A = this chain, B = another copy of it.
């Protein structure tokens, strides 16, 4: 691939090497000059004419980014020191060695959902693994604390496995805790990996290069994700997973998925950052409630209080957020809460009209009562009592004694 790589691939590989994620000036330059000229300009191999600089500044302003006379110059100052490191053929060859490839907006396989990031759209995605990136409607991001509790790990496993079983792709960041559990459960949750349609069961979006598995404690898991699913990064092979790249990586997770679910998060947590990116992009955001005494749920409850996320408790509820018109919110959950568990003392009157509840209350459990007595106790007229007794008898809730009196029956 690398020898015959088209100019656009090489140009975008160069851009991702020179320019840090979310450097909006770089993306504006690409939008105005095209990737190949942009790469040459960023690498100092082509001058940027005044007209081009003005167009870039205008585009920035349009996007609400203040641009000064120095903005373009400052960009070149940032980018040029790395020009010596540029070796796009080498980077493409590295990725090809892993069976990976470079995804770019101009060619097939590019996840269109990323374009919603506007000037924050990545230049390219370095990918590793047999899968393709599915349509965002099929992707659910599951993210959360590194230091997850056993509760958080359990519900993550349930949700991720449930999503995988329903054909969704579980996207996460490959970190310890919730992220790792989400990948792990998704891998375990679907038998055929990857699907015949090339849709991976899980995708890890990395903050550093896809040639390294970070954190090292997750190496086996992340290798498994790359072999059975897909590993993605906007920074080229060899790049370190810096704080900045972690923060920017979150926007990719949010953009790639229809829904972002935060399973556990502390009051301050990177997962909240991902949730806010998702909300800003108009994606669904769900969060899992937990015990209020758990610091690992404080961030989730914060999202709920801010109205930034919807409360979700299982995979089905997560999927409602992806497609809110398929299942009515508030429907009784199946299976999870068997009736036998519900010891509410008020089951008898479910569905009864007010008069019948009054009458049911008035019916003695033993002995019996006549209609006049029932009318007094229930606060109903005799005709209403007569009609109500017929309904309750039909429902198996009232019966007549041998003496012609009425008493409760059944449940």
Residues of A within 8 A of B (CB): 18-20, 22-23, 74, 76-82, 84-85, 146-147, 151, 154-155, 240, 242-247, 266-270, 288-293, 295, 297-298, 300-302, 304-306, 310-314, 317, 329-330, 332-333, 336-337, 341-350, 354, 357-358, 360-362, 372, 375-376, 378-384
* Max chain B C-beta neighbours (<10 A), residue from A291, A350, A384: A291
Residue pair A358, B244 in contact (C-beta under 8 Å): yes
Chain B residue numbers with a CB within 8 Å of A74 are 381, 383-384
Residue pair A289, B306 in contact (C-beta under 8 Å): no
Residue pair A361, B81 in contact (C-beta under 8 Å): no
Contact (A305, B290) CB under 8 Å given A74-B381, A78-B380, A337-B295: no
Residue pair B311, A266 in contact (C-beta under 8 Å): no
In the complex, the 8 A-B pairs of residues with the closest C-beta atoms, listed nearest first:
A77-B381, A289-B289, A242-B361, A304-B311, A292-B313, A20-B379, A81-B375, A81-B376
Residue pair B330, A305 in contact (C-beta under 8 Å): yes
Residue pair A372, B81 in contact (C-beta under 8 Å): yes
Rounded to whole angstroms, the CA-CA distance of A298 and B84 in the bound complex is: 59
Residue pair A289, B311 in contact (C-beta under 8 Å): yes
Other than A80-B381, A266-B342, A304-B310, give 19 A-B pairs with Cβ distance below 8 A.
A20-B378, A74-B381, A77-B382, A78-B380, A81-B375, A84-B376, A147-B343, A151-B291, A242-B362, A244-B354, A244-B357, A245-B361, A268-B347, A269-B344, A289-B289, A298-B336, A301-B313, A305-B310, A305-B330
With both beta carbons as reference points, the residue of chain B lying nearest to A383 in the complex is identified as B77
A337 interface neighbour in B298, B312, B332, Cβ under 8 Å? B298
Chain B residue numbers with a CB within 8 Å of A295 are 337, 341-342
A-B contact pairs, 25 of them (CB 8 A): A20-B358, A20-B379, A74-B381, A76-B381, A77-B380, A77-B382, A78-B379, A78-B381, A78-B384, A80-B381, A81-B382, A82-B379, A147-B343, A151-B291, A155-B293, A242-B358, A243-B360, A266-B343, A288-B292, A289-B301, A301-B313, A304-B304, A305-B310, A305-B330, A306-B329
A243 interface neighbour in B84, B304, B317, B361, Cβ under 8 Å? B361
A386 CB → nearest B CB, Å: 11
Rounded to whole angstroms, the CA-CA distance of A31 and B247 in the bound complex is: 63
Chain B residue numbers with a CB within 8 Å of A146 are 345
With both beta carbons as reference points, the residue of chain B lying nearest to A146 in the complex is identified as B345
Chain B residue numbers with a CB within 8 Å of A360 are 243
A123 CB → nearest B CB, Å: 13
Rounded to whole angstroms, the CA-CA distance of A380 and B298 in the bound complex is: 36
Chain B residue numbers with a CB within 8 Å of A297 are 289
A390 CB → nearest B CB, Å: 17
A100 CB → nearest B CB, Å: 23
Residue pair B382, A155 in contact (C-beta under 8 Å): no
With both beta carbons as reference points, the residue of chain B lying nearest to A154 in the complex is identified as B293
Residue pair B267, A337 in contact (C-beta under 8 Å): yes
A335 CB → nearest B CB, Å: 12
* Max chain B C-beta neighbours (<10 A), residue from A154, A358, A384: A358
Rounded to whole angstroms, the CA-CA distance of A306 and B310 in the bound complex is: 9
Contact (A317, B304) CB under 8 Å given A289-B297, A290-B290, A357-B244: no
A84 CB → nearest B CB, Å: 8
Residue pair A79, B243 in contact (C-beta under 8 Å): no
Contact (A305, B292) CB under 8 Å given A361-B242, A384-B78: no
With both beta carbons as reference points, the residue of chain B lying nearest to A338 in the complex is identified as B295
Rounded to whole angstroms, the CA-CA distance of A300 and B354 in the bound complex is: 26
Rounded to whole angstroms, the CA-CA distance of A354 and B247 in the bound complex is: 10
Contact (A79, B305) CB under 8 Å given A267-B332, A361-B244: no
Rounded to whole angstroms, the CA-CA distance of A268 and B349 in the bound complex is: 12
A270 interface neighbour in B301, B346, B354, Cβ under 8 Å? B346
Residue pair B243, A349 in contact (C-beta under 8 Å): yes
Chain B residue numbers with a CB within 8 Å of A337 are 266-267, 295, 298
